[in-house]
Amino acid sequence: MQKPDRISPDRLESFVQLGLTPLEAEVYAYLCAESEPVTAYRAAQALGKSVGNVYKAVEALEAKGAAMSADAGGSRVTRGVAIEEWLGQRRSEFERAAAEAKKAAANWGAPAWDERVYEIPTLDALLARATAALASAQQFVICTLCPKPAALLSEALLAARQRGVRVGAKVFAPLTLEGCDIVCDPRGLAAVATGPGEWLFMTVDGTSMLLALLDPAGERVLQAFWSENPLMVWNLYTGMSSDLVLAAIRPMIAAEAGREAIEQRQAELRVFESPVSGGKNALIERYRAGIRPRRKPG
């Protein structure tokens, strides 16, 4: 039987992210690559590691369900648990822990309106924040989406629309989201190709904003920020609602579509031109005495 190739160090990082230490990941990879169970001593020799540290790593792997040991002629030998089996264990453990965490957090309540600007460092964190924001939407969502962010968020945008939330999106390539108001930027993909990367701008109910710039492959966050700062959100919301309408009617004006057709298109998008967005409403409530503003959704 041909011995499997050893896993490269860069790929060992994925096992670290699953809860192993770097040494445990290396030992686990070695055990799985061996065709027969081996002693911790043999593993230490093969890896060039301290025997004592490898023994501890083997014990930890057993405790984490990633390895199994047995007696063999007075020696204790160990084999790695097959990756699919171990991942199944980890999924079950995660789901149980997630369910318990949700129960523990059930009475925490909603966070207060926070005006700080938060940086989002990773793509996973960005997608989680965007998905959570879309799930909280009650009235409308306006976004500008390059192709990669559009693909990553399509499901969450559709879910918001299916709950009755109006979704308006300016895109740069054809995109079909049933029930959503999709407007293709007249510049098309040329605007993305000459830009700094792939970007995502979004406001939910005019109460929060999400700004992100990804690398051109759409795989890494270059800059990303989220905030509920009412002045900043109001400014972004106003610009995005106007930009959505402009992107829709600019080609119609160029094609001399006629006043009636243009006005009809504007009317279709008027739902995204609320006179009092969430951010503006918060500012009125704080600074303009005597005016009764609309309350923040929710």
Residue ranges, comma separated, of all CATH 3.30.870.10 domains in the chain are: 117-287
Least Cα distance to 247 among 170, 146, 143, 144 occurs for: 170
Backbone φ, ψ for residue 33 (5° rounding): -80, -20
Cα distance between residue 122 and residue 117, in whole Å: 16
Answer whether 20's CB lies under 8 Å from 66's CB.
Answer: yes
Backbone φ, ψ for residue 119 (5° rounding): -90, 140
Residue ranges, comma separated, of all CATH 1.10.10.10 domains in the chain are: 9-85
pLDDT of residue 282: 84
pLDDT of the chain, 298 residues: tens digit per residue:
344 455 666 678 889 989 999 999 999 999 999 989 999 999 999 999 999 999 999 999 999 999 999 998 888 999 999 999 999 999 999 999 989 998 888 887 766 668 899 999 999 999 999 999 999 999 999 999 999 999 999 999 999 999 999 999 999 999 999 999 999 998 999 999 999 999 999 999 999 999 999 999 999 999 999 999 999 999 999 999 999 988 888 888 888 888 899 888 888 888 887 766 888 888 888 888 666 555 554 4
The number of angstroms, rounded, from the C-alpha of 257 to the middle of its chain's C-alpha atoms is 40
Least Cα distance to 34 among 46, 51, 16 occurs for: 46
Least Cα distance to 180 among 244, 238, 118 occurs for: 244
Least Cα distance to 148 among 247, 84, 216 occurs for: 216
DSSP code string of 119-147 = E--SHHHHHHHHHHHHHH-SSEEEEEE-H
Q: Which residues of 204-218 are buried (b: 16+ CB within 10 A; e: fewer)?
A: bbbbbbbbbbbeeeb
* Residues 233/238/243/245 CA torsion (nearest 10 deg): 130
**One CATH from 3.30.460.80, 1.10.10.10, 3.90.1170.50, 2.40.50.140 for 9-85:** 1.10.10.10
**One CATH from 3.30.870.10, 1.10.1660.10, 3.30.160.150, 3.40.50.970 for 117-287:** 3.30.870.10
* Integer Rg of the chain from CA: 27
Answer whether 111's CB lies under 8 Å from 133's CB.
Answer: no
